[in-house]
Structure 1
């Protein structure tokens, strides 16, 4: 069997039983001991974790769909604990890298999916890199007069909120930055609800929410009372990019940067997720323009879309989405811009201390570095004669590069820092 099967035994499952070609396993389990969790082994090495009140009946059902079942492992679990123990088992085995055929509770699903018919797997892979060069979304959004009329009055109430324009701007930036091909996938794979009736904590109003599959991924709030001019939001992100970058200390690293995070998870997103809360328009923009954070949002969003269609399409507010994307276009000039194209990730260059950046083919005096670094790091980078190699990477946006950051490529033990670059072009 597979080398990863020891992780299955570590969860309390017994050794495999050979079941190749068996139409039934009734002889293996007495009637009084058939409630619990099971793992199926397939001929190609994949596994499936499931629960059953009667494992014999469940196995027979699987055999009608899958003719390549070769092995079975089963352990008894009280009926009241089936849901929780199944979820934990799937998360644990996925985290260890086992290839599972499960869809529910999984962070990543394999094989052909409905999304592939709308956005090709090649486009999905390309989009996930953050380089949107050569990718094109649909020019027009969904037209559904009945659906639009259903939420039009609610949208009018939204527009009377104190920070409605800023809320539209943030929503538009979220959709364009971290939702794959938002116009192509709108309504079928994601939905945006306007002034949802539930979910707002005391002292806040829930302005809008974006949901994929059976999970919300972005909720934007406005404060009421004296703080009515401040926006705040909750994001769900994939945790694995931060674990890879920072190791086991990833949570402390994010908290040290001032972010509020917690382990909140929804079942559809699987174990590879966490929640981040940010306050104020500036911090919301920072998250969505930084490819580290937006990339982690994009990763979980694409995974959720690959699970299947959204369950919230009947609550989708077309007016809200149209207004959000239009507001983003109207206010794009407020965002850090790169007038000279640097869309291709991996452009070689040298960062010269003294606020000069020299990407290939550009004059160093055309660029400046703006960053907020810890004092000890600034001290580390104050030698004007020192040159630091960097890699230029573009933040993801549907319409091209909004901002670009440089990542240090040194052998120095200092961590990697993202430096935002702002164009200082000559008048010509």
Structure 2
């Protein structure tokens, strides 16, 4: 009998096998989600005041609309995985002053900021999904493709965070954010990155989860 310990199954691998995850990334399947949500009433009440403050911001309705679109298209089995494998925070107290932020494991996935009266978004993805040769080489970045994914080239910018095969994309304006999220290759890249981190284990930001925001994210 082998004495080699079995590797524990982490993250969403407990619920979705490799084929299911791959098909979801490619948009070939609709994953069956839980009917009910697991909810902490303590956390729900903890962030009500912040959520009400967000609703008074001029960007509030657009933020909720974009968040709903992101939740519908970019997070697998969002009800079953809520809080434990992803979370959304409302007006988090960080120096960059975001309106909302979505996290998984120890990683930021998606953030919305105020941009005057409008909004801008920040997406974290794998660099190799945006290079001409699918390598994590910065010099191979397909800038032309990025420009085609927004309404005007000036609406998109990028940065290179620390870490292997990681890439940040800034998109300005509601119209460009919606167009960006509608691009098939972009959506596939976002899904792949999100699954990478949701598969790494439990979400480190569970205590920051805002259920009032999640209500909108899960409406899709």
TM over 0.5: yes
In the comparison of the two structures, how many residue pairs are matched? 208
Secondary structure of the structure 2 residue equivalent to 1:307: coil
Conserved? CA contact 2:106–2:203, under 8 Å: yes
Determine the structure 2 residue equivalent to 1:272: 165
Conserved? CA contact 1:288–1:294, under 8 Å: yes
Match for 2:211 among 318, 323, 332?
318
How far off is 1:234 after superposition?
0.7
Residue 231 of structure 1 pairs with residue 107 of structure 2: no
Determine the structure 1 residue equivalent to 2:10: 113
User: Relative contact order (C-alpha < 8 Å, sep 6+): which is higher?
Assistant: 2
Conserved? CA contact 2:133–2:140, under 8 Å: no
Secondary structure of the structure 2 residue equivalent to 1:221: strand
Query: 1-side partners of 2:157 and 2:74: how far apart?
Result: 20
Query: 2-side partners of 1:150 and 1:292: how far apart?
Result: 38
How far off is 1:196 after superposition?
0.5
Determine the structure 1 residue equivalent to 2:141: 250
1:273-307 per-position Cα deviation (integer Å, ceiling 9, x unaligned):
20000001111111111111111111111011111
TM normalised by structure 2 equals 0.85
Structure with greater proportional helix content: 2
- Identify if the C-alpha distance between structure 1 residues 153 and 239 changes in structure 2 by more than 3 Å, giving closer, same or farther: same
Determine the structure 2 residue equivalent to 1:210: 102
- Identify if the C-alpha distance between structure 1 residues 283 and 145 changes in structure 2 by more than 3 Å, giving closer, same or farther: same
1:311-335 per-position Cα deviation (integer Å, ceiling 9, x unaligned):
0001100111102333xx4xxxxxx
State which structure, 1 or 2, has the greater radius of gyration over its C-alpha atoms.
Answer: 1
Conserved? CA contact 1:239–1:296, under 8 Å: no
Conserved? CA contact 2:37–2:82, under 8 Å: yes
Query: 5 Å matches for 1:8-407?
Result: 112-133=9-30, 135-200=31-96, 205-223=97-115, 227-228=116-117, 230-243=118-131, 248-254=139-145, 256-257=147-148, 258=153, 259-265=156-162, 270-326=163-219, 329=220
Query: 2-side partners of 1:313 and 1:256: how far apart?
Result: 35
Query: 2-side partners of 1:196 and 1:233: how far apart?
Result: 15
- Identify if the C-alpha distance between structure 1 residues 172 and 196 changes in structure 2 by more than 3 Å, giving closer, same or farther: same
Q: Where in structure 2 are there 5+ consecutive unaligned residues?
A: none
Q: What's the C-alpha RMSD, in Å, of the aligned pairs?
A: 2.4
Secondary structure of the structure 2 residue equivalent to 1:293: helix
Query: 2-side partners of 1:323 and 1:114: how far apart?
Result: 24
